[in-house]
């Protein structure tokens, strides 16, 4: 492996993977291919912008001609696909782009890989494809029961990956990561959204009763798991990647407020997300046993350093929270907040 195409590498997890791999493997060239949607951000790649083994190409994974051109131009011999529409709330408001990128885009990558004989393709998926689980932990062999348009589109992409492995013998692997947090995460997901809103003493809209459970994974651990699976994973296999740290949303919110020294009165209970999954939980047994990977960071340390990063890097997020971001915010939260209940209030 020499020239790795990282699709969606200007996003949150993709850029963490690129920063890691560029520094660690000077013998590989990392070519980021990214459409630069609202979530793509070249600031995420500033730390590697002058590295000799890094390149950037703008393009859409659903555009076959563009994907083929970049694969030929750089003699790509591995693809790692992070590109996706990734926010559940946006998928509820407007599912179109999710079908195009998370299903059609994945198919295009697979088909170009097949036609050009690219020997390796890793696809980054999510634990959300399993749906919600009340008790116990999802294993890789469990059925997929996605509940949101986002989760369903990710499941569709994964099924194409499976078919290309079984039908054409493409050397594919898949990881299903849990809720990831860390620096450079677009401030629409709960952690960076609540951190940056709380810094400005603004209300935090907690959906429903705030008792939904997510498993929390630090972004560097997620990037490391993808590296390990890319280098050592078995063709055709799927690997869960969990942080092994379950928390209720209210607990995550309280941790953020306490760390920032902000009052709990900022919490607002707002109308729930439609079809809201109650709990995500998965076991790391397989990746731990077969590849020796396990998370290296504790939630507390990693979340504290993440909060510190947002405090120290306002230059990064303040310019995001303008324009289109504010339009989405209004659509998503204005009415809900107007009818909200304050934490601890009557
Ligand atoms: P993100 O939204 O921060 O980044 C997505 C990136 O993909 C952006 O740079 C965007 O410009 C790019 N992109 C979108 N559509 C594209 C297209 N058609 N062609 C090329 N590029 C396109 O997402 P993220 O949080 O970094 O997630 C990365 C991957 O990991 C996704 O596949 C997501 O489903 C998966 N995942 C995310 C989490 C999480 O908690 N964030 C957890 C598990 C799995
Ligand atoms: P999110 O960060 O959108 O990730 P996902 O939906 O992929 O798990 O949401 C994490 C949890 O936080 C989820 O249960 C929804 C909840 N949430 C809120 O309560 N308020 C919010 O404003 C957001 C964005 C999320």
Among residues 176, 181, 132, 134, the alpha carbon closest in space to that of 155 is found at: 176
Distances (CA, A) of 111 to 65, 68, 77, 192, 315: 12, 10, 14, 35, 40
CA 279 to chain centre: 17
SS3 of 326, please?
helix
- Average pLDDT for the chain: 97
Whole-number Å distance between alpha carbons of 69 and 295: 37
Architecture of domain 3-181+216-241: 3-Layer(aba) Sandwich (3.40)
Q: Which sequence spans correspond to the domains of the chain?
A: 3-181+216-241
List 85, 127, 224, 244, catalytic entry: 127
Residues with CB under 6 A from ligand 1: 7-8, 10-14, 34-37, 39-40, 60-62, 82-86, 101, 105, 124, 126, 154, 177, 179-180, 186
pLDDT in tens, 161-217: 999 999 999 999 999 999 999 999 999 999 999 999 999 999 999 999 999 999 999
The atom of ligand 2 lying closest to the CA of 87 is: 3
CA atoms within 13 A on the CB side of 251: 12
The atom of ligand 2 lying closest to the CA of 204 is: 22
In this structure, which residue's CA is closest to atom 39 in ligand 1? Answer: 180
- Strand (E) positions, 272-323? none
Q: Is the CB of 178 under 6 A from ligand 2?
A: no
User: 171 near 271, Cβ under 8 Å?
Assistant: no
pLDDT in tens, 144-162: 999 999 999 999 999 999 9
Question: For the sheet containing 54-58, what is the strand order?
Answer: 54-58, 29-34, 3-7, 78-81, 121-126, 172-177, 238-241
DSSP line for 270-281:
EPPPTT---B--
Q: Which two tokens stand for residue 55?
A: 């390149």
- Cα of 253 from ligand 1 centre, angstroms: 23
pLDDT in tens, 267-300: 999 999 999 999 999 999 999 999 999 999 999 9
pLDDT at 275: 95
Asked if 128 is an active-site residue, the reply is yes
- Strand (E) positions, 142-266? 172-177, 179-181, 204-207, 213-218, 238-241, 246-248
Asked if 150 is an active-site residue, the reply is yes
Q: Is the CB of 205 under 6 A from ligand 2?
A: yes
Q: Is the CB of 222 under 6 A from ligand 2?
A: no
Among residues 99, 122, 96, 126, the alpha carbon closest in space to that of 110 is found at: 122
pLDDT at 345: 65
Ligand nearest to the CA of 103: 1
- Cα of 237 from ligand 2 centre, angstroms: 29
pLDDT in tens, 24-81: 999 999 999 999 999 999 999 999 999 999 999 999 999 999 999 999 999 999 999 9
Examine the pLDDT at 346 and tell me if it is beyond 70: no
269-278 burial, b at 16+ Cβ within 10 Å, e below that, comes to bbeeeeeebe
Contacts of 303 (CB under 8 A, 6+ apart): 181, 191, 216, 252, 255, 256, 259
Ligand nearest to the CA of 196: 2
Q: Which two tokens stand for residue 162?
A: 């499976």
In this structure, which residue's CA is closest to atom 4 in ligand 2? Answer: 189
List 54, 150, 218, 333, catalytic entry: 150
User: 194 near 205, Cβ under 8 Å?
Assistant: no
pLDDT in tens, 306-329: 999 999 999 999 999 999 999 999
pLDDT in tens, 118-148: 999 999 999 999 999 999 999 999 999 999 9
Please work out, in degrees rounded to the nearest 5, the angle formed at the alpha carbon of residue 55 by the alpha carbons of 317 and 52: 105
Distances (CA, A) of 24 to 17, 19, 20, 48: 10, 9, 6, 12
Other Cβ atoms less than 10 A from the Cβ of 206: the count is 23
Whole-number Å distance between alpha carbons of 265 and 135: 31
Sorting pLDDT into bands at 50, 70 and 90, what band is 261?
Answer: very high
- Cα of 190 from ligand 2 centre, angstroms: 5
The atom of ligand 2 lying closest to the CA of 88 is: 6
- Cα of 346 from ligand 1 centre, angstroms: 40
Q: Is the CB of 177 under 6 A from ligand 2?
A: no
* pTM for this model (two decimals): 0.98
- Cα of 62 from ligand 2 centre, angstroms: 27
Sorting pLDDT into bands at 50, 70 and 90, what band is 1?
Answer: confident
User: 80 near 29, Cβ under 8 Å?
Assistant: no
In this structure, which residue's CA is closest to atom 9 in ligand 2? Answer: 190
Examine the pLDDT at 228 and tell me if it is beyond 90: yes
């Amino acid at each position: 492996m020499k020239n790795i195409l990282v699709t969606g590498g200007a996003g949150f997890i993709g850029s963490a993977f690129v920063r890691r791999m560029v520094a660690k493997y000077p013998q590989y060239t990392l070519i980021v291919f990214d459409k630069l949607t609202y979530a793509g951000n070249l600031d995420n790649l500033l730390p590697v912008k002058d590295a000799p083994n890094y390149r950037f190409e703008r393009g859409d994974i659903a555009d076959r001609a563009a994907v083929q051109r970049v694969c030929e131009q750089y003699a790509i011999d591995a693809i790692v696909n992070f590109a996706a529409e990734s926010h559940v709330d946006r998928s509820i408001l407007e599912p179109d782009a999710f079908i195009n990128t998370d299903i059609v885009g994945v198919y295009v990558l697979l088909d170009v890989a097949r036609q050009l004989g690219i020997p390796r393709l890793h696809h980054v998926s999510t634990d959300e494809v399993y749906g919600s689980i009340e008790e116990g932990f999802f294993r890789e062999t469990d059925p997929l029961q996605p509940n949101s348009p986002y989760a369903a589109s990710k499941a569709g992409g994964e099924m194409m990956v499976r078919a290309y492995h079984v039908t054409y013998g493409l050397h594919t692997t898949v990881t299903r990561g849990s809720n990831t947090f860390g620096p450079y995460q677009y401030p629409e997901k709960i952690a960076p959204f609540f951190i940056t809103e709380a810094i400005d003493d603004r209300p935090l809209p907690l959906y429903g009763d705030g008792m939904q459970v997510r498993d929390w994974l630090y972004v560097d651990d997620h990037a490391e798991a993808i590296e390990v699976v890319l280098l050592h994973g078995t063709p055709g296999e799927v690997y869960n990647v969990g942080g092994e740290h379950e928390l209720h949303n209210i607990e995550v919110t309280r941790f953020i407020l306490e760390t920032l020294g902000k009052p709990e009165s900022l919490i607002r209970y707002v109308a729930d997300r439609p079809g809201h999954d109650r709990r995500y939980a998965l076991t790391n047994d397989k990746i731990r046993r077969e590849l020796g990977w396990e998370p290296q960071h504790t939630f507390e340390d990693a979340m504290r350093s993440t909060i510190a990063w947002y405090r120290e890097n306002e230059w990064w997020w303040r310019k995001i929270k303008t324009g289109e971001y504010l339009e989405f915010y209004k659509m998503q939260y204005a009415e809900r907040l107007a009818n909200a209940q304050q934490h601890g209030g009557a």
